[in-house]
């Protein structure tokens, strides 16, 4: 099994695992807002993982470009839904403007991605092994948005864990181990 097949296998496992995780959380409590948001967050990761297979495995560069553009429709919602989950989970106040901005940005990018060259203008063969969509002019602001929002969410979770001495601390054990390690 070569690099391409390993890449596709890891994307398939990620897609299936996050799909089942999202479904499990959704059906655990469909009326719980935090569960719903987390489920949609999981589904956007599933979208990214499974559509990237078409991007990489496309039978032609044109097919790969199609899947690269469709892939971005799910990708643009990952940081926004992560933010929404963190805001809801931690019950953060005064974050509505940031949420509104994030959803507007994500919806705008989701609409532009399949129909324009602004996010993925073309596809080419990379490393002699896989097809991949190239970044367009709006890909870079999308990347910065993704990184900044994700880092902000991790920061909020870390701050909450540092000051929390109740059940929330037990709800995020991975962060608890890191806090204890960092001292």
- Helix, strand or coil for residue 130? strand
Instruction: Give me the DSSP letters along 88-128.
Output: HHHT-SS-HHHHHHHHHHHHHHHHHHHH-SSS---EEEETT
pLDDT number for residue 182 = 53
Spatial distance between the Cα atoms of 31 and 34, rounded to a whole number of angstroms: 9
CA angle, residues 51, 54, 57, in degrees to nearest 5: 145
Spatial distance between the Cα atoms of 85 and 150, rounded to a whole number of angstroms: 11
How many domains in the chain? 1
pLDDT digits (tens, 9 = 90+) for 36-74: 999 999 999 999 999 998 888 878 888 888 888 898 999
CA angle, residues 144, 148, 151, in degrees to nearest 5: 140
Are residues 16 and 141 in contact, defined by beta-carbon separation less than 8 angstroms?
A: no
Q: What is the pLDDT along the chain (183 residues), one digit of tens a residue?
A: 777 788 889 999 999 999 999 999 999 988 899 999 999 999 999 999 999 988 888 788 888 888 888 989 999 999 999 999 999 999 999 999 999 999 999 999 999 988 888 878 777 777 766 677 778 889 999 999 999 999 999 999 999 888 876 665 566 555 555 555 555
Q: Which range of residues forms the domain containing residue 87?
A: 3-182
Tell me, what DSSP letter sits at residue 131? E
Spatial distance between the Cα atoms of 166 and 181, rounded to a whole number of angstroms: 19
For the whole model, what pTM was predicted? 0.84
CA angle, residues 35, 37, 39, in degrees to nearest 5: 65
């Amino acid at each position: 099994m070569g690099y391409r097949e390993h890449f596709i296998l890891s994307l398939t496992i990620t897609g299936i695992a996050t799909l089942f995780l999202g479904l499990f959380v959704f059906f655990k409590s469909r009326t719980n807002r935090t569960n719903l948001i987390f489920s949609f967050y999981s589904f956007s990761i599933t979208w990214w993982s499974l559509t990237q297979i078409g991007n990489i495995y496309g039978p032609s560069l044109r097919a790969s470009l199609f899947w690269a553009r469709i892939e971005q429709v799910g990708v643009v919602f990952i940081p926004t839904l992560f933010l929404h989950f963190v805001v809801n989970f931690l019950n953060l106040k005064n974050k509505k403007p940031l949420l509104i901005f994030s959803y507007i940005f994500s919806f705008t990018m989701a609409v532009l991605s399949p129909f324009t060259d602004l996010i993925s203008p073309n596809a080419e063969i990379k490393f002699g092994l896989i097809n991949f969509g190239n970044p367009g002019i709006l890909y870079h602001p999308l990347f910065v948005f993704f990184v900044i929002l994700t880092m902000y969410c991790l920061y909020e979770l870390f701050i909450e864990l540092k000051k929390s001495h109740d059940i929330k601390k037990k709800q995020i054990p991975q962060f608890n181990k890191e806090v204890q390690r960092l001292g």
